[in-house]
Structures are given as structure tokens and as C-alpha cells.
Amino acid sequence: MINVKTIWETQKPTGEFIIKTRIEDIPHLHCYAATNHITGQHLYIMSVSKNVEIPELKNYRFKGVEIFVIETDTVKELNIYLLDNDLKDIFSLFIQNILEDITESVTKNEAVTKTFKVISKWKKLFDKINFNGLSTEQQKGLIGELLFINHLLDNGKSPSTILNAWTGPDFEDKDFVFGATGIEIKLTSSKYPKLKITNEGQLDTQNLDQLILILYTTEDVKENGFSLNSLIWQTQKKLEANLDALKFFNESLVLVGYFDHDKEHYNKMYSLKKVHSYLVSEDFPKITRSHLPTGVHNTSYFIELSAVENFTVEIEDFI
């Protein structure tokens, strides 16, 4: 497996302004991991012949990254340049994804097409990630997902199955998808708990056989509780014996916007009061895409718990 992060970390000055290392694992393509010797900023370069078509770049610009093409008489060089060194970890995952996707490409045109598909996907991720730290609501969302992950791990479920089902890092509507079963997680510390639904896709059961909605009700505490940091540490300890799963988990944390340098802001503690679980059937009170008038979208709303008492299920029956 290509490890572009290791290549960047081991590059040494050569006297050139840009230090380039060819990625030998893809011998039929001219791909390079490179570093700006002056600023320490990383970049990825793919060199193709002049006749290879490269898409218009104006729709592919996003936060912290610049993409541009340098042309000579014989070649074109696609450059993906990291502007913000604080984003090195997530940039490594981004470039790693490109390399994995183009490895099997037969032609340079195919490699360019696949590269821009990956760029499009990561542009959406970069646009959604809060690089200034997670908001309180985002922290609560992640805490809820970690409580569920730990519950599954404690009940002997396979780490790879759990993490492959975790769609939160991909910003999908459902937090977990196990085959045709979706799981949506909510967490609140309100004294008067209710369900907050943030868009019309969250409770949409299209393409699912069943959807389970889990609400963790908590209260703020000064001690003897759990924090976002402590839950992450607990999860990492449980995954220590499976290095691939641990690596996947740590990469997923980066994708949701959790960075080590922000740890000091994530020590707020909570105590778990109760776990509610509901089956989102056809009669469950909800707003979905099919119910919205044309032109209306991104609808958020609240559901009173008293309105969904009849939909309560035992989550263990589904686990």
C-alpha cells in the first residue's frame, strides 16, 4: 500500500525549490509527492502528456487547497497544493485516496478522470468540515456516535463491520448503515429532551428496510462522567489489537473535523441518563423529501418524545 505521508516525512532537501519524489508503486504514471522547501507545504503532482484533457479547474477549488496546471511544450503538470500546514493530516488522506483510485488506471486519461472524481468528493468534505474546531452541537453528535460504537464493541461486534457501517465521516444522512438497516443517532443534554431533526433526509427510509432512531439523554456534570476526548481514548484502546481498524477510526476522526490540536476544547463532561430507541415506520411523525413542496429543502424541526412513545423498540433486538 502506498503511504504518501511517509514519503513526505522522509523527504530531505536537494537544493531544489520543490523536492520531488516519484511514487514508484504506480510505475506507468508520473506521480510525485513533493514539498516546498521554503514553506514546508506539501503538494501532489501528476505529469501527463500535452494531449491529455484536464477539466476546467474553477469548480474544483476549496478551502486550504489550491489546484492548478503548469504547461510546457511537451507536458501538463496537475498540481494539488496544500496551502494550510495545519491540514497536513487530512491532506494526506485526500492524496492517498487519489493514489489508491488511480493505481489500476490503464491510461493517463483514465487516471485524470478518476483523480477529478476524488477531488469532487473531497471538495464536499472540505467544504463541510469546520477547521476551527467542532461546535458544541457537532461534539454532541460525535459523542452520540461514539457511545453507539462502544456499545457495539462491548457486545462483541466486529470492529471492521462497525466502522464500515459508520457513515458520519462521509456526511451522509444516516449515521450508520448495516446492509438495509439504517441507524440515526441523537444526543441531548436538555432538561426537557426532544428529538432535533436537522434535515428532511435523516428520517427518510428510502432504500432501507428499516430505520432505527436512537436518542441518548444526558446531563452536564463536573466529574465522574465522559467527555468527547475520553470516549475517543476508550474507543482507541478497544481497537488497539486491530491496527487496521484503529487506523481507519483515527482517519475517520479527522474527516469529521476532530484534530488533536483542538483537544483542550473537548473536555466538557456528561453523564448518561437514558437511551431511547424508536422504529421509524411509515406512521412515525416526520418530514421527508417526498413531503416537501418544490423548492423547499434543508428543513429542520423538533419532535416531542410524547409523540413517539408508541414507536419505542428494544435496540438489543436489532443489534
Within 8 A by CB and 6+ apart from 229, the residues are 263, 266, 267
In angstroms, the CA 122 to CA 65 distance is 11
User: 23 by DSSP, 3-state: which?
Assistant: coil
Q: Output the pLDDT for position 169.
A: 72
Contact (Cβ atoms closer than 8 angstroms) between residue 281 and residue 311: yes
Tell me how far CA of residue 99 lies from CA of 76, 95, 112, 118, 186, in angstroms: 18, 6, 11, 10, 35
Q: What secondary structure does DSSP assign to 259-292, as a single string?
A: -GGGGGG---EEEEEEEEEEE--TTS----GGGS
Q: Quick one: how far is CA 195 from the chain centroid?
A: 24
Angle, in degrees to the nearest 10, between helices 136-154 and 228-238: 30
Instruction: With 0.85 as the threshold, say if the pTM is over it.
Output: no
In angstroms, the CA 34 to CA 138 distance is 34
pLDDT in 10s for each residue of the chain, 319 residues: 678 888 998 888 888 889 999 999 899 999 999 999 888 899 999 999 999 988 887 767 777 889 999 998 889 999 999 988 888 888 999 999 999 999 989 899 999 999 999 998 888 888 777 777 888 999 999 999 999 999 999 999 999 999 999 997 766 779 999 999 999 999 999 999 999 999 999 999 988 999 999 999 999 999 999 999 999 999 999 999 999 999 999 989 988 888 888 889 999 999 999 999 999 999 999 999 888 888 888 899 999 999 999 999 998 887 7
Q: Output the pLDDT for position 257.
A: 85
Q: Output the pLDDT for position 295.
A: 87
Q: Output the pLDDT for position 141.
A: 94
In angstroms, the CA 243 to CA 145 distance is 21
DSSP assigned state of 207: T
Q: Output the pLDDT for position 301.
A: 94
Q: Output the pLDDT for position 171.
A: 66
In angstroms, the CA 132 to CA 129 distance is 9
Q: Output the pLDDT for position 238.
A: 97
Q: Quick one: how far is CA 266 from the chain centroid?
A: 18
In angstroms, the CA 43 to CA 82 distance is 6
Q: Output the pLDDT for position 1.
A: 65
Which residue(s) pair with 211 in the sheet? 182
In angstroms, the CA 211 to CA 216 distance is 16
In angstroms, the CA 177 to CA 157 distance is 14
Computed on alpha carbons and rounded to an integer, the radius of gyration of the chain in Å comes to: 23
Q: Output the pLDDT for position 149.
A: 97
- Strand pairing class (194-197; 176-178): unpaired
Q: What is the signed CA dihedral for 295, 298, 302, 303, rounded to 10 degrees?
A: 70
